[in-house]
Chain A
Amino acid sequence: MSYSQFLSHVCMPHAVFLQLKTSSKSNAGSRLGHCSKVPRNVNLEKLRSGYLFPEISRHEFEHLQKNPNASLIRLGIGDTTHPIPDTITQAMAEHVRGLSTIQGYRGYGAEQGNMALRKAIAGKFYQDMGIKADEIFVSDGAQCDISRLQLLLGPNVTVAVQDPSFPAYIDSSVVVGQAGELEEETGKYRNITYMNCGPENNFFPDLSTIPRTNVIFFCSPNNPTGHAASWQQLKQLVEFAKANGSIIVYDSAYAAYIRDGSPRSIFEIPGAKEVAIEISSFSKFAGFTGVRLGWTVVPEELKYSNGFPVIKDFNRIVCTCFNGASNIAQAGGLACLSTHGYQALHNVIDYYMENAKILVDGFESLDLNVYGGKNAPYIWVHFPGSNSWNVFREILEKTNIVTVPGRGFGPAGEEYIRISAFGQREHILEASRRLKVYL
């Protein structure tokens, strides 16, 4: 398979430039043809490598080049695999067919999303929490919302992230100019506060050791560790934010995977509306990774230091830098929140969590310390003393299984591997078999 054929199957970095040498300044003009006089954005220079998941894909591709007959099992990028329940795709197809009729045609929608969908999200997820439909902004996904929130917050805020965490918080922070220089020895950006989360602190940072930052990114259930914060932990977090006048950006993309009664929304915590923004997504909830739909909640009570409501500025960003999520995806979203759709989706989630159980049991039977897999579709496996990229490479080479090295999620991810539980049952079982043999 050629590289470009591979591109059609997975997310890939811009392949051509893997070969293109970044020029030396002295020869720039003459050797490479015309160069503009536009300076490269110094913030982008601070990013050391490609975004994590295209990098994983690249390794996958190279492995397949060397081993064309390998029967690869992908437990790396957390990509959903199960078909979307009929009731939802039928709603999308019906909406689409409507676009060919005078009555059913829709042009520009409200940038904040269709009101029916906003109401349905409020009713389904924020019942009794006092979150209103017009505090909900429908989007094309959490990854995009994270960047729009960063645009909103601007370069002059300080941020804290969990360590390890979903790379988009750090990368977007670097891109926007908040992060400062990368310290090569620690692998940390100077102006970002890294809140260590590991088994030793029950995957919740010791807030007494955390300096004040303007913004705190917090993901629960957590990607990559799988930990779902308890009510007590979140109460501490909200109090910490309130005492410090900070804003929490709470990523609840995996809330639907919670099985043990842990909070699904930060707004379950009293006082959270004054300190938190919540982002979420239909990706892992509904298999909408390709369809693209998510939402962000910005409570009216959330105010900047001068009293200006954050929601007003977020609305301005949404109206200026975005033009609404696809109306087809939104039609699908509405169907997801119908009784029938919601039930069907939870059956799919159950399927993935059964996968997770198989993987957890498999690793536990090998006496490895395994975390997560109970409230999230991610399993976080500890290989003490290891270099996680090496473990990643070895697993790939010896078992043809793609995982994600923990280091990709932050310095505290070193020694860990993230295994995602999406996949067809037979692949999960096969993966479990291979890992038992190899490990």
Chain B
Amino acid sequence: MSLMNNLSTSMISSSSSPFLAPISFNSSRTQSVTVPPKSISLVKCVSTPQEQQTAYKTKVSRNANIAKLQAGYLFPEVARRRAAHLLKYPNAQVISLGIGDTTEPIPDVITSAMAKRSHGLSTLEGYSGYGAEQGEKALRAALASTFYGNLGIEEDDIFVSDGAKCDISRLQVVFGSNVTMAVQDPSYPAYVDSSVIMGQTGQFQKDVEKYANIEYMRCTPENGFFPDLSTVARTDIIFFCSPNNPTGAAATRDQLTRLVKFAKDNGSIIVYDSAYALYISDDKPRSIFEIPGAKEVAIETASFSKYAGFTGVRLGWTVVPKQLLFSDGFPVAKDFNRIVCTCFNGASNISQAGGLACLSPEGFEAMQEVIGFYKENTKIIVETFNSLGFKVYGGQNAPYVWVHFPGRNSWDVFSEILEKTHIVTTPGSGFGPGGEGFVRVSAFGHRENVLEACRRFKQLYN
């Protein structure tokens, strides 16, 4: 069986297995190729009954919740396909517009603060051990004033973390298995996957490509990427991401007001993911807390990843207002704090020093420049697909372009684009059944790679 066959049959099996020797890529920036120096393992089909019978097995049952997951997490799956492609075409100039990974260097003002903190750790005065699990005070204060200035969110409502993805799971641990949740469809896969792991869902239903017990709120061009709330069943938790990954849609003040009212009427808690807020170009709200009453119904999670290129540095934050209460009146923040103190030990102090520098006037301005660079990339990609006659969404308020391929299977489009242009994108169905027929193109990349990618798109689709 050829390697490619082996890979394609195992493509839908579970997560990247370290069973085979990992492949590590050397970043060769002399070529116009973005190849993150990530080591990627190939998946080998695991079910070999003969092996299972002879090898020792414990008597511990596999966690049935994890068994419900259909495949690996989306982005390692995309990475796996990319790796397979490079095996097939070792000289291909692959351009990655798939995984939304930042590519531009971090501004000096920020890294020099981190270098200083690092050096300081070698001195008596500068050494620090365990930090407050909730984050360093100065950083919490800076986050409060920078992002929540007039919104009544205080420093001690803010919990610094190692990123939004980790916070999403910690929030799920707080909520536990006996809550119901709603997500946008399509949406960032971590909400659904963490819900499955926590045991909040039933089995995956292949016919509709949904997990039982999750309320999927369809977001399409037809409804302006905002769900018709009159058709949405009540759930305890509502995950809402704006600007949206993957569609790029940013909710209006009116839409968010309706969402807050919906949550209030239903006694639900909104988990609002604002990781792309600084990409907003118009007057859409940047924080859920701009909406009156939101503090009683919402948690907001955010990240330095896409603002400061901190995807590898790891820094984010979550806001849990004091006013947010469980049904018995117990403050959600108290339980979140307990989880943070028990299941976490604080974000890296060096990363936090970087975060503080990001929020200085000079640092913030430098961050805005990098964001502006990616926004310009987005514009170029949008224009390209528009010029080719595609229906294109997003791209105005987020570094993602959501391209419609009516009637086509998104993994097929993904494969076709990869095969014919050596460009990695992300298939829309990876974000939920509502993503079928769409492909997400991310706008992170060196300018020359983005321009080259657009040339290739034009060649393919002209």
Residues of A within 8 A of B (CB): 4, 7-8, 10-17, 20, 22-25, 27-29, 31-44, 47, 50-51, 53-54, 77, 79-86, 88-90, 92-93, 96-97, 99-112, 114-115, 132-135, 140-141, 143-144, 146-147, 151-157, 168, 171-172, 175-177, 214-215, 242, 244-247, 274-275, 287, 289-292, 300-309, 311-313, 315-317, 319-329, 332, 422
Known: A25-B328, A89-B118, A92-B350. A41 touches B66 (CB 8 A): no
Chain A's nearest CB lies how many Å from the CB of B46?
A: 7
Does B124 interact with chain A (Cβ within 8 Å)? yes
Chain-A contact segment, one of B1-9, B280-288, B309-317, B416-424: B309-317
B372 vs chain A, min Cβ distance (A):
18
> Chain A interface: which of B189-197, B208-216, B242-250?
B189-197
Are the CB atoms of B57 and A83 closer together than 8 Å? no
Q: Is the CB of B111 within 8 A of A96?
A: yes
Q: With A99-B313, A324-B312, A328-B313 given, is the CB distance from A140 to B115 under 8 Å?
A: no
Query: What are 16 A-B pairs at a CB distance below 8 A?
Result: A20-B334, A23-B330, A27-B329, A32-B329, A90-B119, A93-B118, A108-B312, A110-B39, A115-B24, A287-B121, A289-B130, A292-B162, A311-B18, A320-B197, A321-B194, A326-B162
| Partner-A contacts on B (CB < 8 A) | 14-19, 22, 24, 27, 29, 36-41, 46, 51-53, 55-67, 69, 72-73, 75-76, 99, 101-108, 110-112, 114-115, 118-119, 121-124, 126-134, 136-138, 155-156, 162-163, 165-166, 168-169, 173-179, 190, 193-194, 197-199, 236-237, 263-264, 266-269, 293, 296-297, 309, 311-314, 322-331, 333-335, 337-339, 341-351, 444, 446
Cβ of B199: which chain A residues have Cβ within 8 Å of it?
154-155
Let me know if B165 and A41 touch, CB within 8 A: no
Task: Give the nearest-CB partner of B270 in chain A.
Answer: A36
Other-chain contact of B132, A8, A152, A312, A316 (Cβ < 8 Å): A8
> Which residues of A lie under 8 Å from residue B136 when comparing CB positions?
8
* Given contacts A84-B127, A151-B197, A307-B57, A36 and B267 within 8 Å (CB-CB): yes
Q: Kindly list chain A residues whose C-beta atoms are within 8 Å of the C-beta of B122.
A: 83-86, 88-90
Out of B127, B296, B331, which one reaches A20, CB within 8 Å? B331
Cβ A38 vs Cβ B327 within 8 A? yes
- Bound complex: CA A255 to CA B52 (Å): 33
Instruction: Report which of A13, A38, A90, A246 forms a contact with B268, defined as CB distance below 8 A.
Output: A38
Contact A172 B330 (CB under 8 A): no
Chain A residues with CB under 8 A of B62: 304-306, 308, 313
Residues of A within 8 A of B121 (CB): 83-84, 89, 92, 287, 290-291
Residue from the list A51, A115, A153 in contact with B338, Cβ < 8 A: A51
A418, chain B: closest CB distance, angstroms:
16
* Given A34-B325, A105-B105, A292-B345; A319-B59 close (CB under 8 Å): no
Assess the B40–A36 pair: CB atoms within 8 A.
Answer: no
Cβ–Cβ contact A23 & B312, under 8 A: no
> Given contacts A28-B328, A151-B197, A289-B130, is CB(A319)–CB(B101) below 8 Å?
no
A214 to B59, CA, bound (A): 7
Q: Please report the C-alpha to C-alpha distance between residue A166 and residue B64 in the assembled complex, in whole angstroms.
A: 28
Residues of B contacting A82 with CB < 8 Å?
127
Contact between chains at A37 and B266 (CB < 8 Å):
yes
Which 10 pairs across A and B sit closest by C-beta, in order of nearness?
Answer: A245-B59, A37-B267, A134-B18, A23-B329, A307-B52, A41-B176, A154-B63, A147-B343, A321-B169, A28-B329
Most B CB within 10 A of own CB, among A33, A53, A303, A307: A307
Given B18, B27, B133, B326, which contacts A11 in the complex, CB threshold below 8 Å? B133
Cβ-defined contact, A38 with B313, below 8 A: no
Q: Do A4 and B156 touch across chains, with their CB atoms under 8 A apart? A: yes
Chain B positions within 8 Å of A274 at CB level: 56, 58
Say whether, besides A8-B138, A77-B130, A292 and B101 are in contact (CB < 8 Å): no
- Which of the residues B37, B118, B134, B348 comes within 8 Å of A106, measured between beta carbons? B37
Q: Which of A41, A290, A320, A329 contacts B129 (CB 8 A)?
A: A290
**Additional A-B contact list (8), CB under 8 Å, known A144-B345, A154-B66, A292-B349:** A11-B132, A15-B156, A22-B328, A40-B330, A115-B22, A155-B199, A320-B193, A321-B166
Is B327 a contact partner of A47 (Cβ separation < 8 A)? no
| A-side contacts of B76, CB under 8 Å | 111, 319
B58 contacts A28, C-beta separation under 8 Å: no
